[in-house]
Chains A and B, each alone.
Chain A
């Protein structure tokens, strides 16, 4: 292991420890039973098969939006439409699940692919608008997320609503669209395996294919890529299609795997989590499962804590924000890094002197 990755791990660990420490302080201030709350937060997910299963269930959509966001960001396009792509992807899969009559096995496949196509189209919009008009893709994508959620609600309420349900819910999905259960006692479904597969494919695409190479070069140095004769616009658009597709199938799989009707009236915020996951994974797909597991574990711990004690789970969003701010801070622990480099250089000099 070289000095750089050692330092990165140290930084990551410090960021996490600092934010968890701040969380503990807050818990001590607000809770009547702080120690029990902290215990639940830290080991709560391990208390039963069901709660640990929940961690894995939550990990699945996080892996999709994390990988999707990573690829959306990979060409330095600030496109945050992962949330909208995920949401409408979910709706697209739900529509196929309600309306289409297809055999077992084929049915979920069609639904998920349709979700991916919808996701890809959504993620493409901000960059197409940028290309045509020069408008900032970032603001457009933020606005687009609101539009997607409202549009999905509109479609459900006017075309697929189940009037027998008191709350916001679509008609039930057909039985043929189920993703099954991998482990009894949990709701972990086949989508988890698809998520792992997507992570592997993303790692391969980015590191072992020509288009992946071009995407990385364009992201590292757009001017150089252009100079080298790459069609950077095409490369950026392709990266958005892939990223959006992954977010879309993520939404589709989440809907089919965890629900029997479409019930998302608000954004599930998995797109935002995708930003966090991709940063935690240091933009390498192979680290996405670890980052997703970490975040899912933290979230689940917070839920267990909230149900068992008087501390609410939203505290974890504060911790999450602090972790990210510290990790992306280039100068965070800058002094330590300088010292490490200095020491390394010194020992090297001494070795050479001997």
Chain B
């Protein structure tokens, strides 16, 4: 009973929102790239790279703004490089993504050692944390204030980005073009859309999203970089994108579910009765279960429609 109360507490819901932040960014990154028809699994590596870069840059410049901008920029550059390689060299995007991730996981350790002489964590750097923001008025409201106020600036930015992504994809001509390229590249080309340019733009945005997600890892989630700290969150973003039907709103909802799984796993670990290793599996197992369930429901829906004679 006590455990149950712990999960329903305001502090717990606060931590759900906090832990959802990197997953939202990863999901948005996956959404815009898959909307333009590119499978981008380099999210994981992009996040890891910018997690390190923002720790280093915030330590060197002592400026949070600088660190965040550079994270978005570096993420975008990797996104651009990714589309350059897959589009110009015609490389398989999945294997290219895996290679990017390999490079990131080795390269970050290499760079970390160059800057700190340590291969585990960047604690010796005097890096900064992105500020937490108290929202006036809202913070006065008893429970709601505790849950929604005093979050990291990146957390608020993540939610704003969901909104912006919706507007971009469904209310602008660029969004229409992105979706057209993703639906049918040849058809889009035939009506004069410069498909390569659209893909590059999408991947730059996708990279920037991952970049901000990575920045949160070392400037919000923790206040330093540690090796392989992204721990599959980029991949979970892919799952959230698929489960949310590629829509920013659906993706946000699914991200919150994963944030919940993450928070649950963190909270349960403080209780000794269940082995920590089993609890740490929760986010990964719930991804598998959730993805399986949603795919099954979608498939059944399509089958039912076919049975009733309505084709989509």
- Kindly specify which of B16-24, B51-59, B64-72, B90-98 makes contact with the partner chain: B90-98
Q: Is B62 positioned at the interface, with any CB of A under 8 Å from its CB?
A: no
User: CA of A167 to CA of B287 in the docked complex: distance in angstroms?
Assistant: 31
Query: By the criterion CB–CB under 8 Å, are B110 and A318 in contact?
Result: yes
B114, B235, B296: the one contacting A132 at CB < 8 Å is B296
Cβ–Cβ < 8 Å partners of B99 in chain A = 320-322, 324-325
Q: Is B299 positioned at the interface, with any CB of A under 8 Å from its CB?
A: yes
User: CA of A292 to CA of B237 in the docked complex: distance in angstroms?
Assistant: 33
Query: By the criterion CB–CB under 8 Å, are A151 and B106 in contact?
Result: no
Cβ–Cβ < 8 Å partners of A317 in chain B = 102-103, 105-107, 110
Contact mask for chain A residues 252-277; partner B; CB cutoff 8 A; 1 contact, 0 none: 00000000000000000000100110
Contact mask for chain A residues 131-143; partner B; CB cutoff 8 A; 1 contact, 0 none: 0111110111011
For chain B, what secondary structure do more than half of its interface residues adopt (helix, strand, loop), or is it mixed?
helix
Closest CB-CB distance, A11 to chain B, in whole Å? 11
Cβ–Cβ < 8 Å partners of B249 in chain A = none
Query: By the criterion CB–CB under 8 Å, are A329 and B91 in contact?
Result: yes
User: CA of A329 to CA of B92 in the docked complex: distance in angstroms?
Assistant: 7
User: CA of A158 to CA of B274 in the docked complex: distance in angstroms?
Assistant: 11
Q: Is B15 positioned at the interface, with any CB of A under 8 Å from its CB?
A: no
Contact mask for chain A residues 308-349; partner B; CB cutoff 8 A; 1 contact, 0 none: 000010111110111011101111100000000000000000
Cβ–Cβ < 8 Å partners of A276 in chain B = 102
Q: Is B267 positioned at the interface, with any CB of A under 8 Å from its CB?
A: no
Q: Is B310 positioned at the interface, with any CB of A under 8 Å from its CB?
A: no
Chain A residue nearest to B109 in the complex (CB):
A314
- Kindly specify which of B125-133, B139-147, B165-173, B276-284 makes contact with the partner chain: B276-284
Cβ–Cβ < 8 Å partners of B292 in chain A = 129, 132-133, 135, 140
B95, B107, B235, B278: the one contacting A143 at CB < 8 Å is B235
Closest CB-CB distance, A48 to chain B, in whole Å? 25
A136, A158, A318, A326: the one contacting B295 at CB < 8 Å is A136
Interface residues of A in 138-187 (CB under 8 A from B): 138-140, 142-144, 146-147, 150-151, 153-154, 157-158
A135, A315, A320, A328: the one contacting B92 at CB < 8 Å is A328
Q: Is B232 positioned at the interface, with any CB of A under 8 Å from its CB?
A: yes
Cβ–Cβ < 8 Å partners of B85 in chain A = 325, 329
Cβ–Cβ < 8 Å partners of A133 in chain B = 292-293, 295-296, 299
A138, A150, A326, A331: the one contacting B94 at CB < 8 Å is A138
B91, B106, B236, B294: the one contacting A328 at CB < 8 Å is B91
* A325-B288 contact given A314-B113, A318-B103, CB 8 Å threshold: no
Query: By the criterion CB–CB under 8 Å, are B106 and A318 in contact?
Result: yes
Closest CB-CB distance, B43 to chain A, in whole Å? 12
Query: By the criterion CB–CB under 8 Å, are A332 and B280 in contact?
Result: no
Closest CB-CB distance, B22 to chain A, in whole Å? 16
B interface residues, tally (CB under 8 Å): 47
Cβ–Cβ < 8 Å partners of A324 in chain B = 95, 98-99, 102
B107, B231, B293: the one contacting A318 at CB < 8 Å is B107
Cβ–Cβ < 8 Å partners of A318 in chain B = 103, 106-107, 110
* A158-B106 contact given A129-B292, A147-B281, CB 8 Å threshold: no
Q: Is B275 positioned at the interface, with any CB of A under 8 Å from its CB?
A: yes
Chain A residue nearest to B110 in the complex (CB):
A314
Cβ–Cβ < 8 Å partners of B295 in chain A = 133-136
Contact mask for chain B residues 231-249; partner A; CB cutoff 8 A; 1 contact, 0 none: 1100110110010000000
B88, B91, B98, B291: the one contacting A139 at CB < 8 Å is B291
User: CA of A20 to CA of B19 in the docked complex: distance in angstroms?
Assistant: 40
User: CA of A321 to CA of B48 in the docked complex: distance in angstroms?
Assistant: 15
Cβ–Cβ < 8 Å partners of B105 in chain A = 317
For chain A, what secondary structure do more than half of its interface residues adopt (helix, strand, loop), or is it mixed?
helix
Chain B residue nearest to A135 in the complex (CB):
B295
Cβ–Cβ < 8 Å partners of A331 in chain B = 88-90
Contact mask for chain A residues 93-119; partner B; CB cutoff 8 A; 1 contact, 0 none: 000000000000000000000000000
A135, A315, A320, A326: the one contacting B110 at CB < 8 Å is A315
User: CA of A147 to CA of B236 in the docked complex: distance in angstroms?
Assistant: 13
User: CA of A136 to CA of B89 in the docked complex: distance in angstroms?
Assistant: 26
User: CA of A55 to CA of B103 in the docked complex: distance in angstroms?
Assistant: 22
* A136-B242 contact given A314-B110, A324-B95, CB 8 Å threshold: yes
Cβ–Cβ < 8 Å partners of A154 in chain B = 275, 277-278
Interface residues of B in 262-282 (CB under 8 A from A): 275, 277-278, 280-281
User: CA of A133 to CA of B299 in the docked complex: distance in angstroms?
Assistant: 7
Interface residues of B in 195-233 (CB under 8 A from A): 231-232
Closest CB-CB distance, A271 to chain B, in whole Å? 11
Cβ–Cβ < 8 Å partners of B92 in chain A = 328
Chain A residue nearest to B107 in the complex (CB):
A318
Query: By the criterion CB–CB under 8 Å, are B281 and A140 in contact?
Result: no
Cβ–Cβ < 8 Å partners of B284 in chain A = 143-144, 146-147, 150
Query: By the criterion CB–CB under 8 Å, are A134 and B299 in contact?
Result: yes
* A143-B232 contact given A133-B299, A330-B91, CB 8 Å threshold: yes
Closest CB-CB distance, B33 to chain A, in whole Å? 15
Residues of B that sit less than 8 Å from A by CB: 41, 85, 88-92, 94-96, 98-100, 102-103, 105-107, 109-110, 113-114, 119, 231-232, 235-236, 238-239, 242, 275, 277-278, 280-281, 284-285, 287-288, 291-296, 298-299
* The 9 nearest A-B residue pairs measured at CB: A317-B106, A329-B89, A321-B103, A154-B277, A133-B296, A135-B295, A330-B90, A314-B110, A321-B99
Interchain residue pairs with CB less than 8 A apart (16): A129-B288, A129-B292, A133-B295, A135-B291, A135-B292, A135-B294, A143-B284, A151-B281, A157-B275, A157-B277, A317-B107, A318-B110, A321-B100, A324-B95, A328-B91, A328-B92
Residues of A that sit less than 8 Å from B by CB: 30, 78, 129, 132-136, 138-140, 142-144, 146-147, 150-151, 153-154, 157-158, 272, 275-276, 279, 312, 314-318, 320-322, 324-326, 328-332
